[in-house]
Each structure stands twice: as C-alpha cells, then as structure tokens.
Structure 1
Amino acid sequence: MSDRHDVLFVMDPPETFDPRADSTYVMITEALRRGHRPFGTTIADLSLHGSEAIARVAPVGLVPGEPPRLVYVEEPRRRSLAEFGAVLMRKDPPVDQAYVAATWILDHAGTPVLNAPAGLRTLNEKLSILRFGDLVPRTFISRDSSELRSILEELGGRMIVKPVYGYGGREILLARADDPNLGSLLELATAEGTRWTVAQEYLPAAVEGDKRILMVEGEPIGAVLRVPAQGELRNNFHAGGRPALSDLDDRDRAICSAVGPMLRESGQFFVGLDVIGGHLTEINVTSPTGMQEINRLQGLTGDATMQARFWDALETRLRASVRA
C-alpha cells in the first residue's frame, strides 16, 4: 500500500496565507515535499449527506516565486471526507456558530481529524488552563462589572481582561484600579454585562514577552518568545509582537508534562501553549502558529524543521490508521 496520502486541510483560502509567517503554509509545502497530495476546503464547503461528511475540495500546489505561493491547481469537486488519509482542521478563529457547526460535520468524517472536533468544541483556549490550578495565574470569569471591580481589588489593583472567545490578541486590556476610565473599560470588556470576560492576574514578566510552546502528540517540539512592541501590552504576532530565541526551562517542561496527557486524551494533535513567567496562560487548539519563527531563529532546515516534526508524527498516525 502506498505511503503517499491525500490529506485535506480545512482552512482559509490559500491566497490569504503569508508565505513567511503562516504555519499552515509550511505544513502544506512539507506535505508536497514528502510526496503527499494536499487538498483544501473551507468550512463553508462542508456538508452532511445523511451521516456522510462531504466537502467541495481542490488540490493545492505551489506557484514559483520569491517566496512561492500556494494556489488551488484544479477546479473544486465534491468528495467524501472518508476518502482522505486525514483531515487537518486549520481554520483560524473565531470559534463562532459556523466553526462549531463545522466540527459537528467533522464528527462524521470517517477518517482521523486533527485536532479532534469534540476537543475543539470543549477545550476553551482561555479556560481549559483551569484544570491545572497550580500552574496558572489566578483566573476568574464574570460578566458583572461590580464583581470584576471586586476581583480587581483582590488581585492588587491590576489585572488582564479578555473575552472568553477572543483570539489573536484582540480586546486584551489591562485594568487598573486607579484608572478613571475603569468603568468604561469594564463595560467594553463585558459588552455592558452581556459577554463573559476572563479576568486574570497581571504577571509583571509579561513585559519580557510570553513563550509559545508548540506541542505535537502531547510533547513539546519547540518554543519561541513573543516580545511586545514598545508601549504595547499584547505579545501576539498578529498584534505586532516580535519573535525572539527561546528554549524550554524546567518549569516549562513541568507544564508540558502536566498538560500533555489531556491533549492526547482529547485528540489535540497540534497545540500551542502560552507561558508567561512560568505560568500557563492559554492552551491554543484552534490553528496555532509559530513554526516559521522557530525555524528561522534556530536555523532549522530540512528534516529538522517544525513542519517536518509535525509530519513525522502525522505519518506515524497515518500508518497506524492504514493498519487498523
């Protein structure tokens, strides 16, 4: 039986990818390098026919250039998801109704889906950290401004507030007890009491950056420090953070060892952990990124890259699936 597989990426359109930054881009180029056949689809092109998951898909290829671009190389057609060796869910957030509905369809794929749809639904990236209380900063959730004021006092007059379903650094705010605009800030954060908001202990180490640790099959494969721009609170690359060389210390490894079993049990194949000052702040399961930054900073090429390690593990999965 052939070791080459058709693999489907549920993703944003390939023309939107940044060839120098997007992890999905190098996942696909590595698939091509290994002789696999990557296909793409969007969540809008997923459907159910009875209990059979169908998608309108097209093969993805490279157009020469500097850097090369990914494009669809044939017209799309409908195929059963069960025909693919694996389905990789790489749709960027938000986790909205359309995203959740897509995971329900993917439940019927009839082939391995990574990350597992049920886990994508249940592991909120801001709140799943609470399973690891001794490793995380003090964290609360509320949509009541008066309660959030009390929490702020309990946390010493400074805290981070962010939406439960936020992503990419959007709407992350620093609340201070002495801020005359505190009332307006809390109204904004809670959408005037209609939206759940995470309130988290402010960690002074955040000014030095947060560490993104990439995990495959519950094991760390690399890390990068995301350093905030001058005068900026947020570290996310999408919010202007810059990458800096980093590695794992003993505390990071303890965090990975604690979180890894949960990731494996919930079928979360590729995950990004965010760590600030030795505290786990988020568990990113929806299309985490950071591969290309780690490759560049560590000078990784060929079989040593982050995408190569990703595919080494995925090919092990594919071989096991074929034997089963």
Structure 2
Amino acid sequence: MTTHGDVLFVLDPLSTIDAHRDSSYLMIAEAQRRGFQVWSVELGGLLLRGADALAYATPISVPRLGQPVVVRGPSEVRELASFRVVLMRKDPPVDAHFIVATWALDRAAQRTLVVNTPQGLRDLSEKLAILEFPQFIPRSFLLRTVGDLRDALHELGGQMILKPVYGYGGREVLIAREGDPNLSTLFELATRDGTTWTIAQAFVPAAKDGDKRILLVDGEPIGAVMRVPASGELRNNFHAGGSPAATVLSARDLQICAAVGPFLRSRGQFFVGLDVLGEYLTEINVTSPTGMQEINRLENLTDDATMQAKFWAALVTKLG
C-alpha cells in the first residue's frame, strides 16, 4: 500500500484538531498509513510570489491513532505545486480570509490537484446550493426585510426555520412561529435590522428525530450517520450537542445522491457532506465536512473499510 509523495493540508491550528472527532485527523492518519509525507499550513501561511502559490508548510504526523497530531520538523517555504495534492480543510466561516485563500489555491490548482476545487468552494453556498435541486428541498427563501419574513411565515403555515447564510455548526439557527410575542425581535436579529439576508425554510416535523449526514467521495456515497438533537434542542449538529446514531441510506437518500453527486463532481467537489432531514435535502457542505469518526465507531469499521480509507482510495485513483 506504500505510496510516496508529499501532501499538504490547509487546516485550523493543530491544537484544535480533535483526535476523536475530526475527519481531518483521520485523513492525516490515513495519508501517513499509505506512505505519504504529511504537511500542514494555516490560512495565514499561504502566499503568492507572482503567479506562484507557496506555503509556510510544517511537517506533521500522527504518532499513533488517537494521539494528537504532532509537528515533526521546522516549517519550510514550499511551492504548493511540489505537493501531490493540497487538501483544503479549513473550517468555516467562509469569510474574506477564506475567500482570499481560495484565490491563492486557484494558482496552485493550475499545477497540482487541490481538493476541494477552490472555485467550487467559492461558488457553492452550503445553504443555497440546494436550490439546484428544488425537487428534493423544503420550501426556501432568501429574505432581508421583516415584512418579507412575515409573508413567508404565513405562506409556510405559521412555522419556519431561519438560518444565517454564512452560518455553520448550527450557530444562530432559529425557529419562528406565528403568535410568538418575540417574533419581530427574532426577525430583526436574523436580518441584523434589515442589513443582511437570512434563509427562511419550511419547518420539517422530522427534525425532532434528527438529520442524516451523508458523506460523498467523488460524487458517490460512502457512509452516513444520524445526528440526533439533545432533549429540548432545535439543532442536531455535533458541535451543538447532537449525538450520533447508526443509520442506512433509504431509497430517497440514494435518489438524492444520484442527482447531486454528478453536479458536485462537475464542480470539483471531491469530499462533501449532504444533510438530509426526513425526505428533504437541507444543506450541501463542501468546506470541511465531518462525520467520518462517528460512522467508523457506529459501524465498527477498521482498515480498508473505514471512511478515511475509502476517501484515500478514491483520491489515489484520481492522482493516478
């Protein structure tokens, strides 16, 4: 299984990489298992010299699965083209710094493989890309005024979910109900007094049972996990206290994957997490989706059956 070459991960600080929760951790460990030399860089370590993309790259390793990532040598300034693949695994938010980083990665993508493709990371809003598939999604709006939100609430039967366009990890997700005395305040908060857009989406009763995170590699599903909300909690994200539960892909899930997979592949989005709530596709996560660790544990996966092994097997094939 030995494969020689260097790979670069664009990450948050190494101290934030959780050995027991993060998919990036497993990707690093599996790259190492396959014989790659693994390097990392934070966003601030990316730079351009003319048209050449470089990084202050730090060599890293996982001493043993379950132990923290460690630095194994000093940083070096290296051209991104010197790596066989660059993996963009910086967590949201997708802010100005993230966008500038994708411009730097655009330059690298002309000379080496960058996963996920930088242009796709910019173009595909994780909350709005679902609009490409209206047959699979709950009724959704992008709105900015209190009046429009009131109209949407009435149209949606008096109950709806509000999500910030750039939200992540379940942050600032709200439920709006007609008759709530705090409704005007809630709308003002969601739109920051009419200065920004919010996403209004039909409430799906199946939310009480949690949603399903489906992992896709090169457009094909490799595994799934249910995210069950804590008692009394609206959000089911793991970062918001949701707990993992075993699941299988339904006929509807497979139908969604069959439609969304080719679209993502055409946009260069190699590793993606779909969120499915009941019968509905609610998000397409392209930045740094997680879920590998939970699926491995729930299904007792080992060796080549793990999520990270399936990821790297497909990626090695792509590298040729």
User: Displacement of 1:15 after TM fit?
Assistant: 1.7
Whether contact under 8 Å (2:219, 2:261) holds in the other structure is: yes
Q: Is the 8 A contact 2:102 2:119 kept in 1?
A: yes
State yes or no: 1:82 paired with 2:81. Answer: yes
Q: Which residue identity lines up with residue 15 of structure 1 in the other structure?
A: S
- Pick which of 205-214 and 70-79 moved more: 70-79
Q: Find the counterpart in structure 1 of residue 175 from structure 2.
A: 174
Q: Distance in 2 between matches of 1:29 and 1:85?
A: 17
Conserved in 2, the CA contact under 8 Å of 1:225 and 1:243?
Answer: yes
What is the CA distance between 1:178 and its match in structure 2?
Answer: 1.3
Counterpart of 2:43 in structure 1 is: 43
Which residue matches 1:18?
18
SS in 1 for 2:213: strand
Q: What is the DSSP-based 3-state SS (H/G/I as helix, E as strand, rest coil) of the residue aligned with 2:69?
A: strand
1:322 is matched with: none
Match of 2:92 in 1: 93
Q: Deviations over 1:111-145 (max 9, x none)?
A: 11000000000000000000100100000001111
| Distance in 1 separating the partners of 2:58 and 2:175 | 44
Could you tell me which amino acid in structure 2 is paired with residue 93 of structure 1? P
1:18, distance to aligned residue in structure 2 (A): 1.1
Residue identity matched to 1:280 = L
* Partner secondary structure for residue 137 of structure 1: coil
- In 2, Cα distance between the equivalents of 1:121 and 1:129? 15
Give the match's secondary structure for 1:160. strand
What count of residue pairs does the alignment treat as equivalent?
317
Residue 34 of structure 1 pairs with residue 34 of structure 2:
yes
* SS, match of residue 263 in structure 2: helix
User: Is residue 224–residue 248 contact of structure 2 (8 Å, CA) maintained in 1?
Assistant: yes
Write the distance in 2 (CA, Å) between the matches of 1:100 and 1:212: 25
1:244-259 equivalence runs, <5 A: 244-259=245-260
2:148 counterpart residue number: 147
Identity, in percent, stands at 59
Provide Cα deviations, 1:139-174, integer angstroms capped at 9, x if missing partner: 000111110011000000000001001001000000
* Counterpart position of 2:119: 118
Q: Secondary structure at the match of 1:194?
A: coil
The answer to whether the 8 A contact 1:159-1:201 is kept is yes
Question: What is the rounded CA distance, in whole Å, between the counterparts of 1:214 and 1:62 in structure 2?
Answer: 23
Structure 1 letter corresponding to 2:253: D
Letter of the 1:90 counterpart: R
Q: Which amino acid aligns with 1:176?
A: R
Q: Does 1:73 align with 2:68?
A: no
Matched residue, 2:229: 228
Matches within 5 A, 1:177-196: 177-196=178-197
Aligned mates of 1:67, 1:120 — CA distance in 2: 30
Give the TM-score taking structure 2 as reference length.
0.98
Aligned partner of 2:308 in structure 1 is: 307
* CA deviation vs aligned residue, 1:226-257 (integer Å, no higher than 9, x gap): 00000000000000000000010100000000
Q: Which residue of 1 aligns with 2:158?
A: 157
Q: Which residue identity lines up with residue 32 of structure 1 in the other structure?
A: Q
2-structure distance, mates of 1:67, 1:317: 28
The answer for unaligned runs of 5 or more in structure 1 is 320-324
In structure 2, what is the Cα distance between the partners aligned to 1:222 and 1:5?
A: 28
8 Å CA contact 2:3–2:34 kept in 1: the answer is no
Q: 4+ residue runs of structure 1 moved beyond 3 angstroms?
A: none
Q: TM-score, normalised by structure 1?
A: 0.96
SS in 2 for 1:69: coil
**Structure 1 residue 67: Cα displacement:** 3.0
Deviations 1:297-321 (A, max 9, x none): 00101110000000001111111xx
Q: Is the 8 A contact 1:15 1:71 kept in 2?
A: no
1:104 equivalent in alignment to 2:103: yes
1:182-217 CA-to-partner distances (Å, cap 9, x unmatched) read 000000000110111000000000000000000000
- Helix, strand or coil: the match of 2:311? helix
Q: CA deviation at 1:272?
A: 0.1
Letter in 1 for 2:241: G
Cα shift at 1:63:
4.0
Measured in 1, the distance between the counterparts of 2:126 and 2:295 equals: 22
User: CA–CA distance in 1 between the matches of 2:66 and 2:120?
Assistant: 35
* One-letter identity of the residue aligned with 2:257: C
User: Does the residue aligned with 2:133 lie in a helix, a strand or coil?
Assistant: helix
Contact residue 215 and residue 273 of structure 1 kept, 8 A: yes
